[in-house]
Structure 1
Amino acid sequence: MSTDILEIARVQVLEEGRGLSAEQALRCLTLSDDRLAELLALAHEVRMRWCGPEVEVEGIISLKTGGCPEDCHFCSQSGQFSSPVRSVWLDIAQLVEAARQTAETGATEFCIVAAVRGPDRRLMDQVREGVKAIREAVDINVACSLGMLTQAQVDELAEMGVHRYNHNLETARSHFGEVVTTHSWQERWDTCLMVRAAGMELCCGGIVGMGETLEQRAEFAGQLGELEPDEVPLNFLNPRPGTPFEHYPLVEGAEALKTIATYRLALPRTILRYAGGRELTLGDLGTRDGMLGGINAIIVGNYLTTLGRTPAQDLELLADLRMPIKALSQTL
């Protein structure tokens, strides 16, 4: 029996559809750079076998930006740091217009995000109004990311018709205390379990490059595999001024691509989405390599507090790679 991790993955993941364990993921993350092309090629085969060629496109908008009471060390929206993001609310008309512009790119998902620990009554009421207005005006699925939820709030969002809920674990359980101190990893995990049980799709990922070890990066892949989210957004740290992580180095391109491919092998059937930081970490050529190394979804346009590539650039890339955009009817 072979002891080479890529030969093992070819049978276990590509042929049988069983994701890598945390221990196996670590072996991929520690492969030498001269095997990166081989790793990416296998991840692409896995993506094509278990997910197909289509790419899901999503846009995001912040309903409430800044002023968050939590101390997530990567986030410029925390009210505890000196980063230059201050609390701003959008109105319903702005939400609908942003959803309409997102749909015009071919996107099937539009995510409403709020910088909060969890939603209060005012926010839930505004989300209800926003979801209703968007669904009446635009042919697009509505997702939400509103922090930690109670069971009653989970049930209410499901009743509103929210298609998918995003709540990132951010990093491995063993590293979480170095990233956030005002709430626990378990609290995030519990929200994710409630979302899945309520019948909404679960979007749950994290950020690579927050001081975690390769062992912790592999641990996180295994924990996501246990959770089995419908979608995993992979962010790469974009160090923000005024945050505790402002001086952290960017993840190197080869390391980022190795992470992408490894997570695809750990999560063969999951929507694996390019999210924040890819522009700095990978650039245009690296972004292309990731699309051929396991990624099958992207966020187009800008992020919550940072700039992304233009939608036209990403759509042109998909056209060049002959990767069709997933149709809305297939996600309803």
Structure 2
Amino acid sequence: MTAFETREIRVTVADTDVLDIAREVVLERGEGLSEADVLRALRLPDERLPELLELAHKVRMKWCGPEVEVEGIISLKTGGCPEDCHFCSQSGRFPTPVRSAWLDIPGLVKAAEQTRATGATEFCIVAAVRGPDKRLLSQVKAGIEAIRASGNDIQIACSLGMLTQEQVDELKAMGVHRYNHNLETARSHFANVVTTHTWEERWETLLMIREAGMEVCCGGIIGMGETVEQRAEFAAQLAELGPDECTMNFLIPQPGTPYENYEVVPGKDALRTVAAFRLALPKALLRFSGGRELTFGDLGTEQGMLGGINAIIVGNYLTNLGRPADKDLAMLTELNMPIKALSETL
């Protein structure tokens, strides 16, 4: 099996209910569903959605526990990206309202302080680039040093595009413990979403991150024209990678991008996808990320937390507003879901 092939698809009995299979394979043994069975879960009718969500929540509770990891993100370098990711308002190739900007070091320190004050244990520094140059890495290093000098003990993650081995080693030496690099969608659909680089290039960066001993954060965006079969394919490819964290984003149609007129993913389809991905990745952090406010609304966010999600981004996203952090934290209190302590993420 090559690095880009998904896991072997188990042969299942056609008349065996997929949730019965999931109870045995995922809930009892902690193994992810096969691609074929993820597809069956994604095809469950609406009347079975509560049952699917309930099972996904049980899986989350058994293999991950009740804690929720809270993260804040900040854009160090915004806009002007040379890549043509069709969903992204930060691409310099599209006539979007976003313009290039850099955040200074005091601003980065302040954002980290505000994030830590919410109880968050994770702070991700993001840049809209194909990959980091020397200037960007120097800024990241200076920012991390300033955050630590301020007495802030928050864990620091980065998302800076595709990396070389030398850059991986530099980030590791800076104390970056987790790196986010999304595959975005199924391998078979990727060329419809991005043409300026390949799915395989992203995969290679992820393998280097894993080999260096940093945690791997990898997920994607649902609602970019992929088929339900490709959603199942994507889940299986993520399971093959085995990320420590999987980000669940839902498309926000951005003005000026090729996807500006795409329809928002219906809430029930989004919840079904969240639950199915939990059954494919029973032990990973499954993080609510961009688009949840637009796709779900308040009620759907709570349903997702009870349907397999065990991590969230609080506050705003890179170029889009999120829910107020205090609103999400109040929701976690109401659901009796404690924020994962910093000591548990070390």
Does the alignment reach a TM-score above 0.5?
yes
User: What does residue 104 of structure 1 align with?
Assistant: 117
Q: How many residues align?
A: 332
Counterpart check, 1:217 vs 2:217: no
What is the one-letter code of the residue matched to 1:130? G
Residue aligning to 1:114: 127
Tell me the residue number matched to 2:177.
Answer: 163
- Find the aligned partners of 2:191 and 2:155 in 1 and give their Cα distance: 34
The TM-score normalised by the length of structure 2 is 0.95
Query: Is 1:194 equivalent to 2:213 in the alignment?
Result: no
* Mapped partners of 1:18, 1:329: distance in 2: 27
Which residue of structure 1 aligns with residue 3 of structure 2?
Answer: none
Residue in 1 aligned with 2:29?
16
Within a 5 Å distance, the mapping from 1:301-316 to structure 2 comes to 301-316=315-330
Point out where structure 1 has 5 or more consecutive residues left out of the alignment. Answer: none
Residue 75 of structure 2: aligned partner:
62
- Counterpart in 2 of 1:295? 309
Q: What is the rounded CA distance, in whole Å, between the counterparts of 1:127 and 1:285 in structure 2?
A: 37
Q: Percent identity?
A: 72
Cα distance in 2 for partners of 1:51, 1:205 equals 18
TM-aligned CA deviation for residue 92 of structure 1: 0.6
Letter in 2 for 1:170: E
C-alpha distance in 1 between matches for 2:157 and 2:237: 23
Letter in 1 for 2:78: T
Q: 2:252 aligns with which of 238, 244, 265?
A: 238
- The separation in 1 between residues aligned to 2:52 and 2:134, in whole angstroms, is 47
Task: Tell me the distance in 1 between the aligned counterparts of 2:243 and 2:112.
Answer: 24
Show the 5 A alignment for 1:133-172: 133-137=146-150, 138-172=152-186
Q: CA deviation at 1:133?
A: 1.2
2:293 aligned partner: 279
- Identify which of 45, 55, 68 aligns with 1:32: 45
Q: 1: distance between equivalents of 2:295 and 2:148?
A: 35
Given candidates 67, 70, 88, the residue that maps to 1:75 is 88
1:10: Cα distance to partner?
A: 0.2
Offset of 1:55 from its aligned partner?
0.1
Question: Deviation at 1:317?
Answer: 0.4
Separation in structure 1 between the aligned mates of residue 177 and residue 70 of structure 2, nearest angstrom:
15
For the pair 1:182 / 2:206, whether they are aligned, the reply is no
Q: Distance in 2 between matches of 1:20 and 1:158?
A: 33
Point out 4+ residue stretches in structure 1 off by more than 4 angstroms.
none
Q: 1:269: which partner in 2?
A: 283
Deviations along 1:74-109, one digit per CA (max 9) or x if unpaired, are 000000000010100001110000000000000000
Partner of 2:141: 128
- 2:189 aligned counterpart, secondary structure: helix
| Matching residue of 2:7 | none
- CA shift, 1:136, in A, is 2.5
Aligned equivalents of 1:80, 1:251: Cα separation in 2: 25
CA RMSD of aligned residues (A): 0.7
**Shift of residue 274, structure 1, vs aligned partner:** 0.2
SS at match of 1:249: coil
Q: Matched residues in 2 for 1:218 and 1:82: separation?
A: 33
- Return the letter of the residue paired with 2:291: G
Q: Distance in 2 between matches of 1:310 and 1:177?
A: 35
Give unmatched runs, 5+ long, in structure 2. Answer: 1-12
Q: What amino acid sits opposite 1:252 in the alignment? A: P
- Deviation of 1:303 after TM superposition, in Å, equals 0.2
1:45 aligns with 2:58: yes
Secondary structure (helix, strand or coil) at the match of 1:232 reads strand
Q: 1:135: Cα distance to partner? A: 2.1
TM-score, structure 1 length as denominator?
Answer: 0.99
Please name the residue that 2:266 is paired with: 252
